[in-house]
Amino acid sequence: MLLNYVPGATCYNDLKTFNGEQYMTFRDAAVARQIVHTEKIVFDIFDEAVFVMMPFQLRLFFATYLIGEQPPNALEIWDKYKNFFCEGFSNNNEYRSLLHISSILEFENFTLKHFNLPEPDLNIEFIESEKDDNNERMAYELEKGSEMKKLCNIDQLNILEKLLNSILNNSNEKIFFIDGPGGTGKTFLYNCLIHYLMGNNKNVITVAWTGIASILLPKGTTFHRAFKLPIEIDNYSACCVKTMKDKEYLYKTDVIIWDEVSMILGRAVEMVDELLKDLCKSKKPFGGKFVIFGGYFRQVLPVVKYATPAKIVNSTIKSTLIWSMCTKLELTKNMRTSDTEHANWLLNVGNGTVDKLDIYDSWKSENVVKDIYGNSILLDQDLSDKIIIACHNNDVRVLNEKVLSLVEGEVHTYLSIDITKQRGVDQSDEDIQLEYHVEYLNSLNFNGFPVHKQRLKIGSIVMLLRNLSIKDGLCNGTRLQIVKLYKHLIAEKIIIGSQKGEIVFIPRTKLDIGDTSANKMLFILER
C-alpha cells in the first residue's frame, strides 16, 4: 500500500518515513499518512479540535462526528473530552452539555442511548428556566414575524392573513396549496408564517423534498426524515415511526408546512395522511392537522423510472383525493426579477409555449472558468452566486481542477480510507470484509460520492454530500467555503441558506455505497 503513496522510494526506510520521521513499522507509517484505519485516529481528531473550537462548536462537532462515523467508543470520547464540551455553561455544565448534544442527535434520528452516552434526567430548575426561555422565544418570533410582514406584497399579505386566521381560529378549512413560480416569494412567506405560528406557541413541522430546500426554512428537514418514509416508495410502502418520542412529536404537531410538494409522489403524501390518521385516532385528513403545501408544477415533477410523461403526471399529488381537499392560493408577482418581460418569459417556458431557443455564437465562452471567476479567487470573495453546471462527472472534475488553480495558496491533499464489506450480512462483523486491492478501491468513483484524493485550498468552494445536522445547515447539497485546513478536520463557512456566514467544522466522515438496488457491485464500499 505504501508503494502507492511514496514516490521514488529506494529502500524500506523510505517507505517507513513520513514528514521527516522514520516509524518502526510499515503500519505505523501508513497510520501516520492516514491511509489505514485505526481507533487512535479519533483521539487525534479531538486532540486537534479542542484547541481550535469554541465549546458550542465542539459540541456540534462531536454530535456530527457521532452521526457520520458512528464510532463504537463514543463514551470513551465523552469521558476524555467532556470538560471541553461542558465549558460555556454557568451551572449544570455536564447536564446542559448532554442536552445540547442530544438535541442535535435527535433531529437526525439518533439518541444518546444509541451511542451508550449518559442520559440526563430533567430537573425542576431546568424546566422552570426552559419556560422562561420559551416565553422569550415566543416574543422574539412574534417580533420577527411582524418585521417580515411589513415587507410582504399584496399577494403574500392576503395569503398570510388567511392562513393565520384559519389556524389561530381552528377553522374547518385545514389543507392549503400555495402555487407560485420561482421568485414569487414562497420561501419568504413560509418564514413569515412560521415565525408568527411559533410566536403563538404552535408546534410546526417544516419539510421539503430536498435537504438544500429545507435549510431555507426554520427547523426545516426532509419529508423522508420527518415522517420516516422509505427511500424507495411503491403502493405497498408505509411510514415507519418506531419510537414513542417520534410518535408523540407528530401527535403534538399543529401545523405542517410542506414545500416542493410538486416534486413528490402522490403516494408519499397519502402515506403521511395514513400515518397521522392512525397516530391521532382520527378519520379527518392528516389527523385533523393544518397542512400547507407549496410548489410549482411547471418545474420538476417526481422522478419515476422508465415512465411516460402521462404516467409521471399521474404520479403527482394532483392524482390523489387529497388534492381535491386543498384550498388553492396563488402568488403571481415575481420578486426576484424586476424585468417583467423576463418574468413572463419564464412563465411561458413553464407553460411550454416557448419555441426552441437558439444559442448564438456571442453567448458561447472560450474559457467559462475565467469568465465566471476571473483570473483569481480571493478568500474574502463572495462566491455564493457563482456556479458552473455540467452534464458529466468527468467535466465536473476537470472544471473543479481549473477553478482550484485560480485559488491562491498551497494545495492540501486529504486521502480517504477505503474498505469493503459483504452485501446482505451483518456489517458489524469485521471477519466478513472482502479482499480487494486498495488501489482498485481508490480508483472507484460514483455519482454523489467523494473521490479518494481530495485536493483543497483555503478559499475553495466545496459541497457537503451527506446530512450531518440539517437544523444547523449541514445537509446534502450545502455549499461551503474553506476557511482553514487542519490535519484531521476542516473549518468552513456556510455560503447558502439561513445559516449563511456561520463557521462550522467538518470531521472525517464515513460514507458508503450501501446495500441497495442502486448498488450493482458485489460488495459495499465504505470510504
- Could you tell me the maximum CA-CA distance found in the chain, to the nearest angstrom? 81
C-alpha grid cell, residue 346: 419564464
Q: Which residues contact 277 (CB under 8 A, 6 or more apart)?
A: 283, 284, 285, 286, 287
**pTM, to two decimals:** 0.74
Contact between 375 and 407 under an 8 Å Cβ cutoff? The reply is no
| Domains present along the chain, CATH in parentheses | 1-33 (no CATH), 131-330 (3.40.50.300), 369-526 (no CATH)
Contact between 487 and 238 under an 8 Å Cβ cutoff? The reply is no
Please give the backbone phi and psi of residue 25, each rounded to the nearest 5 degrees, phi first.
-125, 165
Report d(CA 86, CA 84) in Å as an integer. Answer: 5
C-alpha grid cell, residue 441: 478501491
For residue 104, count other CB atoms closer than 10 A to its CB. 21
Q: pLDDT tens digits for 232-250?
A: 787 878 888 877 778 888 8
Q: pLDDT tens digits for 451-484?
A: 888 899 998 888 888 878 877 888 888 889 999 9
The whole-number pLDDT of residue 188 equals 92
User: Exposure string (b/e) for 269-285, b if CB count within 10 Å is 16 or more?
Assistant: bbbbbebbbebbeeeeb
% helix / strand / coil in the chain, to the nearest 5? 40, 15, 45
State how far the alpha carbon of 311 is from the alpha carbons of 260, 323, 460, in Å.
19, 17, 42
Report d(CA 457, CA 472) in Å as an integer. Answer: 24
Handedness of CA 34, 36, 39, 42 (dihedral sign): positive
H or E element, residue 106: helix 93-107
The whole-number pLDDT of residue 134 equals 67
| Secondary structure of residue 32 in the 3-state scheme | helix
Report d(CA 109, CA 130) in Å as an integer. Answer: 23
Per-residue pLDDT of the chain (527 residues; tens, 9 = 90+): 788 788 888 888 888 888 888 888 888 888 888 777 777 788 888 999 999 998 888 999 999 999 888 888 899 999 999 889 888 776 657 888 888 898 888 877 788 989 999 887 655 555 555 555 667 778 888 999 999 999 999 999 999 999 999 999 999 999 999 998 877 889 899 999 999 999 999 999 998 887 777 777 877 888 888 888 887 787 878 888 877 778 888 899 999 999 989 988 999 999 999 999 999 999 999 999 999 999 888 888 888 888 898 999 899 999 999 999 999 999 888 776 666 777 777 777 777 777 777 776 767 777 888 888 887 777 667 777 788 888 888 888 888 888 888 888 899 989 888 888 776 555 444 544 556 778 888 888 887 788 888 899 998 888 888 878 877 888 888 889 999 999 889 999 998 877 888 899 988 888 887 655 455 677 788 88
Handedness of CA 112, 118, 122, 127 (dihedral sign): negative
